[in-house]
Structure 1
Amino acid sequence: MSPDSKFRLPTNVKPTHYDLVVRTDLEKLTFDGSVTVSLDVKEETKTIVMNSSKLNLGQAIAYSDASKSELTSSESSFDEKEKRVSFTFPTSFAAGSKVKLTVGFSGELTGSMTGYYRSSFEEDGKTKYYSLTQFEATDARSAFPCWDEPALKATYAVTMVSRADTVNISNMPITSEKPFSPNDHTDIKTVFADINEEWKVTKFETTPLMSSYLVAFANGPFVYLESSAKMPLSGRTIPLRIYATKDLIHQAQFALDVKAKVLPMYEQVFEVEYPLPKLDTLVATDFDAGAMENWGLITGRTSALLLDPKKGDIAAKKRVVVVQSHEVAHMWFGNITTMEWWDYLYLNEGMSLRGLIQTPRAFPEFKPNSEFISSHLNRALSLDSKLSSHPIEVACPNAESIGQIFDGLSYSKAASVLRMLSAYVGEDKFLKGVSLYLKAHLFANSVTEDLWAGISKATGTDIISFMDNWVKKIGFPVVTVTEIPEGIKVRQDRFLETGLAEGKDNETIWNIPLSILTVDANGKPTVDKAAVLDTREKTFTLDTSKPYKLNAGTNGVYRVRYEDAHLSKIATEVAKPDSVFSVEDRMGLINDALALSKAGLLKLSNALTLINALRNEQEYLVWDGISGNLSSTAGVWWEDKNIRDLLNAFRVSLFLPFVKKLGYEYPASDTPDISQLRTCAIEQCLAAKDQSVIDTLKGRFAEYMKSGDDSGIPADLQRATYRAAVKAIYQKAPTPTARIAAMLAMCQSQDQTILDETFNIALTDARDQDVVYFIMSFAGNDITKRQVTKFFEKNYDGLVDRFASTFMMRHLVEVTYSSLSTQKDLDEMNAFFKDKDTSRYHMGLAQSADSIRAKIAYIEHSSSDVLQWLQAWKQGK
């Protein structure tokens, strides 16, 4: 990306420090203030250009150290499209001089969930407000005029002015806080002529060098819990707090505990000290993303950070662990070392997710390395198997393109290729390379080659050439294995969800670590980690009469396609109690088989045979993979009653034995695996319409509605129970998890009257952050799968306005259309968007179209095969 791109700010001046004063009025829901920016003048200029959006600006005043005089801007202009303001001065500033530029500003605290915005909560039957920031990627400019690009790092000294009875927090600790006094605060009186003693002034320490999108501040009636962490490198004790409104704070302890566990762990692993004096977290009731890694002040939504201490289900607990761990990892990846431009977003997000694999030391019970396969690797491969995918490193010239790449490729695929590299070079060497990368770019910016340079130095391997195509090329390979007399021949082609890519779409050759698992003379598995497929085809010598498998541990970012005869042998081997294939291997085999069948590269019947062979499997994560894949398969044939009913019967036959064995209670003695397996089995039986499970859950819900005592509904079963017995308890849900469960449940009703009412709630009553839950659940209900497209199209203009500045529109498009499955659906979707401005979500729209095309093809090539297999299974069971 050229620095003089028309989408980038001029380089004639460079900011080095901001003195930012912000006054927040939660009664009028407005803010105002002043920013003074210290600038190094790089080229002689009369004009200074900076970013600004949605603000009312005063005149700019510039003090030049060269002339020792103040200049007031003689004219200003605003570029609405690029969100820039230009101030022109009467005389030029000389190259090499320093200037202090002061601009006053004011704005409204809207509910936009971007910039400096308001969030609401209920107290004593009244709606009350607090304010907070969300600046990533380009919204610092809507809170104060600034140089809003990640490479333009500066230090920030924040002063907040607020009502005396509110709490102020920011990136850094408070240095002073006192009621406003004309004598003590002459500087503040200069900014706010109307200020009086009803206000207080809070000053914060100056930050290290940081990017504008990481600046954060908040004001409101917050309370907090506190803890601390002893840091292994510095020996310092870092104070930790978590803030929330008083009605929520009792659910925040677990998130605080997670932060206290992982912060010192990351410092030790990355061998770089955490540089700030504190680390806070703020729980927000209105939040666009899941959470945000503001340096020293993490923010996030309630469902990502809260857990009922008495009734926290495993899924909610894991989400808090994952979110807090990810955001804390960002303190290094993104905050200390920041991508040079948004093309390299994955250096922030992929590395921070890759850091989660370190959490076995803190939370071994959740098996994060194994779960990564279903949470991230399979998600990444699913999205990247579309023609409309994009490379991990992708050009982002403007704001519209930046907003679209916060997706499964920048996050999950990036983390997956880093996990693959780590497995290939060895974990210790990989982490040493990461540490070298961070140390070489402390408080600075980086590009892809910088990371590869660090790992190359630590490993003595040319990582740049090895990894280049993984991040700069679109897609990923499928490795086809053919047995030959001396062993196996392997071939790579780009994999698409509709088959093998051809022509120009199949030109990339990846360096593929094959990790070939074989069995030695003693029956013990060994893995050849040196085997790499770096050409189109290669042969490897091995004994094919014994079990073997490629991609041992499922660390590789690729699918593996075996001949039918060998897949049958694999099915026999995985069924053994002492199988040589690990949990990760079994998860990978299932995911590959179903993906290959969708692409027409493997009969769906063969994939189902593999699943059927796993009936005696005991590992939750394997069943979780089976569950997700069967749910997706059922979603393809949702309009074919014969196949749907038989597939449901097959699902029940797999999961009902676990329901009978494990029951509906969750004793404290259960391991997380047992608890999750019970939940998975019950939810699968419910989705497959098993009447015994439906009746049991409805009975428990009826008892709750009758007595008000919800002790008969374990937290892990809230979602399933609410779905089985829909009642609009949405408004009075006691926890964020219960509230989401209620939203999803209402959308799963079979009663059209309830559904119509729920559509209305989604449009008029739901918080902005929750609309996507409604749409997603409607899209998963056969009755409303097409109704939700009509709902979306009817309310399109309002939704566009409502989510104008958030990431949400892309998600809404994807969840509305991706589950459809006919040519008519595709034609109607294309017709609707034909005259729409799709610039902010065109990637999601193209991916939705690809999803529909893939289902159309799947139905065409596999319907007769799956029907025959299911009929034969039913007769033979």
Structure 2
Amino acid sequence: MGKGFYISRKVGLGLLLTAICAFITIIALSIAYDKEKKKNQTNSGDGQTDSSSMPTTPTTPSVPKEPWDRYRLPDSLLPLSYNLTLRPVLEPNADGLYIFTGNSYVVFKCEKATNLVIIHANKLNLTSINGHLAMLTAEEHSAPIVEKSWLVPETHYLVLQLQSPLTVGRTYVLQTIFQGELADDLEGFYRSEYIENGVKKIVATSQMQATYARKAFPCFDEPAMKAVFNVTIIHSHGTVALSNGRETGTVDTDFGRVTTFEPTARMSTYLLAFIVCDFAEIQSTQRNVLIRIWARRKAIDDRQGDYALNVTGPILEFYERYYNAAYPLSKSDQIALPDFNAGAMENWGLVTYRETALLYDPIISSTGNKERVISVIAHELAHMWFGNLVTVRWWNDLWLNEGFASYVEYLGADYAEPTWNIKDHIILYDVHRVFGVDALASSHPLSCAEDAVSTPAQISEMFSTISYSKGAAVLRMLSEFLSEPVFVKGLSSYLNAFAFGNTVYKDLWDHLQQAVDSTPDVKIPHTVHEIMNRWTLQMGFPVVTIDTRTGSITQKHFLLDPESVVDRLSQFNYTWFVPIKWMKSGVDQQQFWLLHKRDTNNQMIASGNDWVLANTNVSGYFRVNYDQGNWDRLLSLLNSNHQTLSVMNRAQIIDDAFNLARAKIIDTTLALKTTKYLSKETGYIPWESALRNLNYYILMFDRTEVYGALKSYLKKQIQPLYEHLKYNQINAIGIGCKMGVEGCKELTRNWFKQWMDNPAHNPIHPNLKSTVYCYAVAFGGHEEWDFAWRMFKNATVASEASRLREAMACTQVPWLLNRYLEYTLNPSKIRKQDATATIQYIARNIVGMPLAWDFVRARWRYIFEQYGRGSFSFAGLINGITRRFSTEFELEELKKFKVENQDIGFGSATLAMEQAIEKTTANIKWVAENKAQVLQWFTDESA
């Protein structure tokens, strides 16, 4: 149990008196905001100065010479607690700006002697106190006099230079009074808007991860700088205020309501949250924990929050048992926001979500929407322990937080919905997904040195598929080879040892090793450190090749483009310690380890006429190749009795084969043969795996003569599934319409026409809406598009609005697509949170791809300034637009785009740009080498 930090009675009384004065000051600040803003705009950039002069800017910015020019805080000061008061104003001022005002007292301890106080503050207007931007005091001893103070916009610092050093071991109090804009930028303390009953409503809400708490108040904004937060919010009558802690009181005054909250646990700034709204809520109490779901009043009235409330309790209960640690807070609030950039955010005690990730309408929403809701809830609640209770020291180890939550979300969701087999879906949504990124020469390891991640843009780049999905895959593999009981034992020890503190990834390995050492039945060939370093400190993964004729087993770094050059060196020479679970002719065999490049005489795997399948249930993070004889036996098994293999392994065979073919390890026709049995397959996971891989062929060839033969073949394979419409009906109708299955076009158009004729009654089943909407719009014209737009604007269920927004990108009419692209720059038409995703949807359309590419190139500066500096999803924009690129002309245009925009930059999409160039280069070579062969195969098989 970590120690909290508390303010003494004497200091507390002093702060209380000062806080009363501060309340009055906040009100005055609200009135005087325009004047203050204009005065501060006369200063340089976002910064402010007092009468003292600014320090001289270093002559060589690339080598910071002063502490305030470095992006990492000095280690001389340690925050203990904050007293924070905020007042958001939910009405615009004379200039049309929404503002918030506040004051903060941070109690900190001097760890090393220094005459500087450096604290984060970004885009805040600070009010002068005694001629400086902050005031320094101390308890029972004098504080050094502030000599001068200034802001450093580049590194987001408020700096106080003192006339004498602080004393090591003593505590001090820093007071700031500030105001900022409650903007609609989805960062820090920001504004969300929505219409309810014809009335515009404003929500003041927050998103602090990763570096945005400094936009809400001056703070030590790094994850290791944990402290206790005492929050007070002043808000309008008729609204409710929420924060991490439970409300301890609300007092009505002449200037608004004053809500106070219990002190938080010791926590990082990025987990803070505060919200002012007039939302409604539903609640329950389970195991002495208050559980509340908040949303727009209509959403709550329509019971869209009921499902989230029903599953939250069981998921929390599961994690308490899984972690062997009680939920550490008194309440669990979850709130659905109309405007939210990420999918959700694990703020401790007040989790924020996009509406589509928390709300489920039992009539309108689909089963897929329901699965998303429970998966996201399970992910965020997993963080309450792993990430919040125990937090990584710095963002270079972000993968440990996000990878772990991405893994155990399947366990939590499976506990709450045990009949769904949701644990199997990790193969599609994480393992196979990240294989495609990690097979590039421009990939990167899970973990890196701390000094490799310092700027906000570099931190944002860590929120990648590698961190989330590869992290999930390797932790799942670790749990598999240790066994779940040993994994959970080590995990519980780790969480209890470091509760309320910070760690590095090696600390987890230490506790897992202790669990192994105390469990005699568990044998591993090396320590947990030695095994896992191979998977976390070098990028990529191996392809394991098994020769069932000789028993030879080898491993090699798998690259989608075998001719690409890997510049990143590896201390392990791209060799992994590979745990291999396998079966022979349907019988599970004992796991073995491949510890070197080659195991030349493994007789137990020599099979004779038996088929061998390695990596059962895809428990390991690697691909598998076989000798031709074993491939033939597996193909024969698929065609004769595919249900002998699990759905995960059927999907694995398809996914491995297609990617091995792209890497020139096996012949392309061998990969295509894995799809021949699909006319008998009704399982969602194998079909989804096949369609994802065949979609690469569609992207590469839908502008060539190959596409006709490909359509004929897929039409032949999908016809039985389409006719039976078993539970895989979404894929059946989707690919059926795409490939021209008879009756599909008429079916979707008729359903949609019935809805157009009677908008109050939608005859389309919720599970089929996404597919039907898309093809009805694609087969229609402007009338269908305009109807979809009206329904989108009038939708009161977020999942329904999301389906319609995606479907409108399916139109084949260029002028409609161009109009839609323009809409993405207008927040009154397409919310900022949805802008880049909507552009990607349009680029996915063969007609829309060149339009979206031209649109983004022409408006790059604006798009980058709006979304590119820190948005986690911004890299997806580059990936989405360029996924079809496969010609020399497109490659040259891409390189030209990179050069022409170097001065603007690419922010969190910097690595995505490099990978787009790498993937386009590989696509060009693959098309040139495979086009003729692929055309011939599809022609022959569709005959």
Q: How high is the TM-score relative to the length of structure 1? A: 0.92
Q: How does 1:414-433 map to 2 (within 5 A)?
A: 414-433=471-490
2:497 is the counterpart of 1:440: yes
Tell me if structure 2 keeps the 8 A contact 1:326–1:356.
yes
Cα shift at 1:579:
4.8
Tell me which of 262, 266, 273 is aligned to 2:326: 273
Residue of structure 2 in register with 1:479 after alignment: 544
**CA distance 1:365–1:710, shift in 2 (3 Å):** farther
| C-alpha separation in 2, matches of 1:814 and 1:208 | 39
Residue of structure 2 in register with 1:160 after alignment: 233
Residue of structure 2 in register with 1:48 after alignment: 117
Cα shift at 1:818:
2.6
Tell me which of 599, 611, 636 is aligned to 1:547: 611
Tell me if structure 1 keeps the 8 A contact 2:407–2:473.
yes
Residue of structure 2 in register with 1:738 after alignment: 800
2:810 is the counterpart of 1:748: yes
Residue of structure 2 in register with 1:184 after alignment: none
Tell me if structure 2 keeps the 8 A contact 1:477–1:495.
yes
Residue-by-residue CA offset, 1:204-262 (whole Å, 9 max, x unaligned): 000111001001110011111112323xxxxxx21100111213223122122221220
| C-alpha separation in 2, matches of 1:85 and 1:304 | 37
Residue of structure 2 in register with 1:596 after alignment: 660
Residue of structure 2 in register with 1:219 after alignment: 276
Q: How does 1:202-241 map to 2 (within 5 A)?
A: 202-230=259-287, 237-241=288-292
Tell me if structure 1 keeps the 8 A contact 2:299–2:796.
no
2:865 is the counterpart of 1:801: yes
Residue of structure 2 in register with 1:124 after alignment: 197
Residue of structure 1 in register with 2:58 after alignment: none
Cα shift at 1:306:
1.4
Q: How does 1:57-76 map to 2 (within 5 A)?
A: 57-58=126-127, 59-67=133-141, 69=142, 73-76=146-149
Tell me if structure 2 keeps the 8 A contact 1:54–1:107.
yes
| C-alpha separation in 1, matches of 2:667 and 2:733 | 28
Residue of structure 1 in register with 2:429 after alignment: 375
* Range with greater deviation from structure 2 (331-340 or 7-16): 7-16
Partner SS for 1:17? strand
**CA distance 1:134–1:27, shift in 2 (3 Å):** same
Match of 1:414, as an amino acid?
A: G
Partner SS for 2:360? coil
Cα shift at 1:813:
1.9
Residue-by-residue CA offset, 1:80-103 (whole Å, 9 max, x unaligned): 111111012344321121111111
Partner SS for 2:675? helix
Tell me if structure 1 keeps the 8 A contact 2:315–2:415.
no
* Range with greater deviation from structure 2 (556-565 or 114-123): 556-565
Give the percent of matched residue pairs that are identical in Structure 1 and Structure 2. Answer: 28
Residue of structure 2 in register with 1:328 after alignment: 381
Cα shift at 1:725:
2.0
Residue of structure 2 in register with 1:185 after alignment: none
Residue-by-residue CA offset, 1:602-639 (whole Å, 9 max, x unaligned): 22221121110243223222222122222232112121
| C-alpha separation in 2, matches of 1:502 and 1:8 | 33
2:441 is the counterpart of 1:387: yes
**CA distance 1:62–1:315, shift in 2 (3 Å):** same
Residue of structure 2 in register with 1:834 after alignment: 899
Cα shift at 1:377:
0.1
Residue-by-residue CA offset, 1:627-685 (whole Å, 9 max, x unaligned): 22222321121211x311221222222222222112xxxxxxxxxxx53x111111111
Unaligned runs of 5+ in 1: 181-196, 231-236, 663-673
Residue of structure 1 in register with 2:13 after alignment: none
Tell me if structure 1 keeps the 8 A contact 2:441–2:566.
no
| C-alpha separation in 2, matches of 1:144 and 1:503 | 43
Match of 2:139, as an amino acid?
A: D
Residue-by-residue CA offset, 1:133-178 (whole Å, 9 max, x unaligned): 1000010000000000001111111010111211100001011111
Residue of structure 2 in register with 1:80 after alignment: 153
Tell me if structure 1 keeps the 8 A contact 2:490–2:511.
yes
Tell me if structure 1 keeps the 8 A contact 2:642–2:650.
no
Residue of structure 2 in register with 1:497 after alignment: 560
| C-alpha separation in 1, matches of 2:390 and 2:410 | 20
Residue of structure 2 in register with 1:704 after alignment: 755
Cα shift at 1:302:
1.1
Residue of structure 2 in register with 1:669 after alignment: none
| C-alpha separation in 2, matches of 1:375 and 1:551 | 18
Residue of structure 1 in register with 2:297 after alignment: 246
2:30 is the counterpart of 1:30: no
Residue of structure 2 in register with 1:584 after alignment: 648
**CA distance 1:679–1:426, shift in 2 (3 Å):** same
2:591 is the counterpart of 1:529: yes
Tell me which of 875, 883, 890 is aligned to 1:810: 875
Tell me if structure 2 keeps the 8 A contact 1:494–1:501.
no
| C-alpha separation in 2, matches of 1:448 and 1:418 | 12
Partner SS for 1:840? helix
Cα shift at 1:493:
1.1
| C-alpha separation in 2, matches of 1:786 and 1:497 | 25
Cα shift at 1:839:
4.2
Residue of structure 2 in register with 1:714 after alignment: 765
Cα shift at 1:854:
2.3
Residue of structure 2 in register with 1:633 after alignment: 697
Residue-by-residue CA offset, 1:500-544 (whole Å, 9 max, x unaligned): 77787683110111212223xxxx511321333434444311323
| C-alpha separation in 2, matches of 1:648 and 1:810 | 31
Tell me if structure 2 keeps the 8 A contact 1:66–1:97.
no
Residue-by-residue CA offset, 1:687-733 (whole Å, 9 max, x unaligned): 32435211100011001101224441111111112112222322123
| C-alpha separation in 2, matches of 1:48 and 1:539 | 65
Cα shift at 1:7:
2.3
Unaligned runs of 5+ in 2: 1-63, 93-97, 128-132, 518-523, 778-784
| C-alpha separation in 2, matches of 1:624 and 1:560 | 19
Tell me which of 156, 178, 183 is aligned to 1:110: 183
Partner SS for 2:325? coil
Residue-by-residue CA offset, 1:362-413 (whole Å, 9 max, x unaligned): 2123322211000100011111011111111133122111111211100000
Residue of structure 1 in register with 2:521 after alignment: none
**CA distance 1:581–1:540, shift in 2 (3 Å):** farther
Residue of structure 1 in register with 2:130 after alignment: none
Cα shift at 1:440:
1.6
Q: How does 1:352-367 map to 2 (within 5 A)?
A: 352-359=405-412, 360-367=414-421
2:372 is the counterpart of 1:319: yes
Tell me which of 862, 866, 869 is aligned to 2:934: 866
Match of 1:60, as an amino acid?
A: A
Residue of structure 1 in register with 2:915 after alignment: 847
CA RMSD of aligned residues (A): 2.0
Cα shift at 1:23:
0.8
* Range with greater deviation from structure 2 (100-109 or 253-262): 253-262
Q: How does 1:663-742 map to 2 (within 5 A)?
A: 674-675=726-727, 677-726=728-777, 727-728=785-786, 729=788, 730-742=792-804
Residue of structure 2 in register with 1:767 after alignment: 831
Residue of structure 1 in register with 2:3 after alignment: none
| C-alpha separation in 2, matches of 1:715 and 1:474 | 41
Tell me which of 440, 450, 455 is aligned to 1:398: 455
Tell me if structure 2 keeps the 8 A contact 1:61–1:70.
no
**CA distance 1:502–1:810, shift in 2 (3 Å):** closer
2:572 is the counterpart of 1:518: no
| C-alpha separation in 1, matches of 2:279 and 2:323 | 33
| C-alpha separation in 2, matches of 1:850 and 1:778 | 23
Residue of structure 1 in register with 2:362 after alignment: 309
| C-alpha separation in 1, matches of 2:271 and 2:202 | 23
Residue of structure 1 in register with 2:170 after alignment: 97
Residue of structure 2 in register with 1:147 after alignment: 220
Cα shift at 1:577:
3.4
| C-alpha separation in 2, matches of 1:464 and 1:549 | 28
Q: How high is the TM-score relative to the length of structure 2? A: 0.86
Residue of structure 2 in register with 1:645 after alignment: 708
Residue-by-residue CA offset, 1:480-501 (whole Å, 9 max, x unaligned): 22244xx421111111111377
| C-alpha separation in 2, matches of 1:298 and 1:47 | 35
Residue of structure 1 in register with 2:317 after alignment: 264
Partner SS for 2:443? coil
Residue of structure 2 in register with 1:608 after alignment: 672
| C-alpha separation in 2, matches of 1:856 and 1:501 | 13
Tell me if structure 2 keeps the 8 A contact 1:655–1:681.
yes
